[in-house]
Amino acid sequence: MGELTIATSEPLEPGEFPPTYGAAAPPTTDAALLTQPGHDLWRHVSSQIADLVALFDDGTLLVLKGHRADVNVRDFVQRARALGYAVRAVHEVTMDDLADRRRSGSASGTNQRIAAAGGDYSTDVDPNAVGIGYIRNAFAAGATDVHIEVSHGANRTRVDARINTLIHPQLFEQAAEIGEKVVRALYNLGDAGEGTFSTTVSKTTRLSRQSVADQSGGKHMLPDGIKSCRYTSFPIQDGIGCSIRIHPVEAAGRSLQELGLAEAQEELLMELGTDGEGGLTLVAGMTGSGKTTMLKSWLEAVYRHHEGTKRFVGVQDPHEVDIVGMLSMDAAATDDAEARQDEYDAILKRIARADPDFLLLGEIRDRSSARLAMSLANFGTFVTSTFHAESAAALPFRLAGTEFGLEPSQVFNHHVTRGLAHLRLLPRTCPDCSIPIGQWPDRRTELHSAGSATLTPDDVLRRYDRIIARIDAYCRHVAAGPAALDAVRARGPGCPTCCGGQIGSRPRPLRGIKGMTIAAHVMRTDARFMALVRDGRISDAEAHAYHRDGDVNRLTSLDRAVAKVVSGEVDPATVLARFRKLQSDRLLAEDPGISGESAEACT
pLDDT digits (tens, 9 = 90+) for 489-533: 999 999 998 887 777 777 888 889 998 999 998 989 999 999 998
CA-based angle 255:260:263, to the nearest 5?
70
**Do both 111 and 147 map to the same domain?**
no
More confident residue, 520 or 175: 520
Query: How many other β-carbons are positioned within 10 Å of the β-carbon of residue 149?
Result: 19
- At which of 89, 123, 157 does a domain end? 123
Q: What is the pLDDT of residue 71?
A: 60
Q: What is the pLDDT of residue 119?
A: 31
**Do both 406 and 526 map to the same domain?**
yes
Average pLDDT over residues 194-222: 89
Whole-angstrom CA distances from 395 to 236, 354, 407, 421 are 32, 28, 14, 9
Residue 123, pLDDT > 80, answer no
Which of 65-69, 312-316, 517-521, 539-543 comes out lowest in average pLDDT? 65-69
**Do both 543 and 589 map to the same domain?**
yes
Average pLDDT over residues 536-549: 76
Average pLDDT over residues 54-81: 77
Q: What is the pLDDT of residue 13?
A: 35
- At which of 54, 89, 123 does a domain end? 123
Q: What is the pLDDT of residue 280?
A: 93
What's the mean per-residue pLDDT of the chain? 79
**Do both 187 and 114 map to the same domain?**
no
Q: What is the pLDDT of residue 592?
A: 39
For residues 375 and 383, give the distance between their C-alpha atoms in angstroms, rounded to a whole number.
10
pTM above 0.85, yes or no: no
Say what percent of the chain tops pLDDT 90: 29
**Do both 308 and 381 map to the same domain?**
yes
The identity of residue 53, as a single letter, is V
Nearest to 206 by CA among 312, 331, 291, 325: 331
Say what percent of the chain tops pLDDT 70: 81
Per-residue pLDDT tens over the stretch 218-237: 889 998 889 889 999 999 98
Q: What is the pLDDT of residue 339?
A: 67
DSSP category for residue 380: T
- At which of 475, 498, 515 does a domain end? 515
**Do both 439 and 417 map to the same domain?**
no
**Do both 272 and 403 map to the same domain?**
yes
Which positions ≥6 away from 168 have C-beta within 8 Å? Answer: 141, 143, 160, 161, 162, 506, 507, 510
Report yes or no: 163 and 141 within 8 Å, Cβ to Cβ.
yes
**Do both 285 and 408 map to the same domain?**
yes
When pLDDT is cut at 50, 70 and 90, the band that residue 341 belongs to is low
Domain of residue 222 covers 127-248
CATH number at residue 187: 3.30.450.90
Whole-angstrom CA distances from 452 to 159, 466, 493, 514, 568 are 24, 15, 12, 19, 20
**Do both 458 and 413 map to the same domain?**
no
**Do both 179 and 95 map to the same domain?**
no
CATH number at residue 385: 3.40.50.300
Nearest to 68 by CA among 142, 133, 120: 120
Query: How many other β-carbons are positioned within 10 Å of the β-carbon of residue 531?
Result: 15
**Do both 396 and 357 map to the same domain?**
yes
**Do both 391 and 315 map to the same domain?**
yes
For residues 312 and 301, give the distance between their C-alpha atoms in angstroms, rounded to a whole number.
12
Task: Report how many domains make up the chain.
Answer: 4
